[in-house]
Amino acid sequence: MYDNAEQELASLEERGLLRDLQALPETGGKIVIEGKKVLNFSSNDYMGLARDQRLKEAAVEAVSRYGCGATASRLLAGHLTLHEELESDLSRMMDTDAALVFGSGFLTNLGVLSSLAGPGDHVFSDRLNHASLIDGIRLSRAHCYRYRHKDMAHLEDLLKKSQDTPGKRIIVSESVFSMDGDIAPLKELSELASRYHAMLIIDEAHAIGVFGRQGGGVCRIPGREIQPDVIIGTLSKALGGYGGFVACSVSVRRLLINKARSFIYSTGLPPACLGSARAAVRIITSEPEPGTTLLEKARRFHSLLTQHSLKMPDFESQILPIIVGGNEDVMRFSESLSRKGLLVKGVRPPTVPPGTARVRLSLTLSMTDSALEQAACAIAEAAEEVGIALHGSTGVTTQ
Ligand SMILES: Cc1ncc(COP(=O)(O)O)c(C=O)c1O
């Protein structure tokens, strides 16, 4: 019996950090909760594919052909032809020589970082990188240097200082930052990586399907293309299903199959996920730049919010944070939004740095302009009610 649980929970509650689950009756941009229509700003189903008929049919077909589970890890009997088919679809979409599918984006990051870095190596990580990247670096037991968010001068300084120490160098960053929606300076990261002979790993979890040529992410934006050594992606956000993947060279793929513990010691992704992901990739890659409409919608919504005097960081992506600061304040804001028919969850530390609790508005393709106009008014009213309209700060996450 673990008798400290109640004490720990009480301590979390006291600090305004207690989290709870809310069971939703359905997924989608517009959902009905307890008989009330709600606009869902907390989903990462950016392109509205999770409920797409083509994905559902592909998942059903895969289940009828292969069954419900992969039945074993990929190195045993759990490697299906469907895994290989999806991996060649993904490498074509990402324009890399190879791809490897993992159980989730989180597991991909654990596997990639802990395989490509090891004790004595040096990993340079943006201070706002996702928990899965941080945990991957911890597992690798490499030296970790956290550079200030998007601060290339700081990164270069750290690279210089470690220049004469033995060991591999790896720079790792998200492209679109999950909780801030801003975009890393990829060209500069790529230049620093080649100047200091470092490997570059870019996590495109929130960009794949939305940004770039054929939805291949920010690294594939025409005219701004870069070639990182490794790109991490997820099947769980814009691709509407579940799973993660890495897009890389043939040799990195082979190395991961041999070293990544989250790949080796876990059952292969199940057929339903593989089937739906193949359909999602087909849909996404059928357009030259699939995210254009979503990003225009997000830009209009951002400008509506600023017209309502809400202080917002500059527009960069479909993720729009409103930074509140205090943990209790953000939860009051989120509750007020919920009473107004908007599902916008509060995000608190440790997901974001202390003092930068926020609501994270995530735009999805199904949101109509009129629904967004009403939502902007409701958000401004709620901000007024809880007294944050004039206190929202834009710069606090850059630490
Ligand atoms: C930047 C980033 N990388 C990786 C992940 C993990 O992806 P998944 O949800 O597929 O496990 C997330 C999820 O939120 C993320 O934001």
Catalytic residue, candidates 206, 297, 302, 340? 206
pLDDT at 29: 87
Residue 143 annotated as catalytic: no
3-state secondary structure of 362: strand
pLDDT of 371 > 90? The answer is yes
Cα 162 to ligand 1 centre (Å): 29
Residue 203 annotated as catalytic: yes
Residue-wise pLDDT for 221-279, tens only, equals 999 999 999 999 999 999 999 999 999 999 999 999 999 999 999 999 999 999 999 99
- 10 Å CB burial of residue 140 (0-12, 13-18, 19+) is buried
- Protein residue with least CA distance to atom 8, ligand 1: 105
Question: What is the overall mean pLDDT for the chain?
Answer: 94
44 lines ligand 1 (CB under 6 A): no
Question: Which one-letter amino acid corresponds to residue 144?
Answer: C
Read off the tokens for 245. Answer: 């993947």
pLDDT at 1: 63
Question: Which one-letter amino acid corresponds to residue 398?
Answer: T
Cα 240 to ligand 1 centre (Å): 13
236 lines ligand 1 (CB under 6 A): yes
Residue 79 annotated as catalytic: no
205 lines ligand 1 (CB under 6 A): yes
Residue 13 annotated as catalytic: no
104 lines ligand 1 (CB under 6 A): yes
Q: How confident is residue 2, by pLDDT bands cut at 50, 70 and 90?
A: low
Give one DSSP letter per residue of 303-318, joined into a string.
Answer: HHHHHTT---PPP-SS
pLDDT at 388: 76
pLDDT of 211 > 80? The answer is yes
Cα 307 to ligand 1 centre (Å): 32
Share of the chain above pLDDT 90, in %: 90
| Right CATH for 53-285 from 3.40.720.10, 3.40.640.10, 3.90.1640.10, 1.10.1060.10 | 3.40.640.10
Residue with the two structure tokens 């299903």: 241
- What dotted CATH number matches 25-47+291-386? 3.90.1150.10
**Region 92-116: what's the mean pLDDT?**
98
Residue 121 annotated as catalytic: no
Residue-wise pLDDT for 285-333, tens only, equals 999 999 999 999 999 999 999 999 898 999 999 999 999 999 999 999 9
Residues 304, 298: Cα–Cα separation, whole Å: 10
pLDDT at 266: 98
96 lines ligand 1 (CB under 6 A): no
Share of the chain above pLDDT 70, in %: 97
Residues 144, 120: Cα–Cα separation, whole Å: 10
Catalytic residue, candidates 89, 174, 204, 316? 174
Question: Which one-letter amino acid corresponds to residue 19?
Answer: R
Residue-wise pLDDT for 119-132, tens only, equals 999 999 999 999 99
Q: From the alpha carbon of 235, which atom of ligand 1 is closest?
A: 10
**Region 59-88: what's the mean pLDDT?**
98
**Region 351-365: what's the mean pLDDT?**
95
Q: From the alpha carbon of 44, which atom of ligand 1 is closest?
A: 14
Catalytic residue, candidates 178, 236, 266, 317? 178
pLDDT of 383 > 80? The answer is yes
pLDDT at 393: 44
Residue-wise pLDDT for 27-49, tens only, equals 988 899 889 999 999 999 999 99
CA distances from 172 to 72, 99, 221, 309, 364 (A): 31, 18, 19, 35, 27
43 lines ligand 1 (CB under 6 A): no
**Region 201-207: what's the mean pLDDT?**
98
180 lines ligand 1 (CB under 6 A): no
Residues 303, 296: Cα–Cα separation, whole Å: 11
Read off the tokens for 119. Answer: 């004790």
Q: From the alpha carbon of 244, which atom of ligand 1 is closest?
A: 10
- Protein residue with least CA distance to atom 14, ligand 1: 178
174 lines ligand 1 (CB under 6 A): yes
pLDDT at 392: 44
204 and 230 Cβ atoms separated by less than 8 Å? no
Residue 115 annotated as catalytic: no
The domain limits of the chain are 25-47+291-386, 53-285
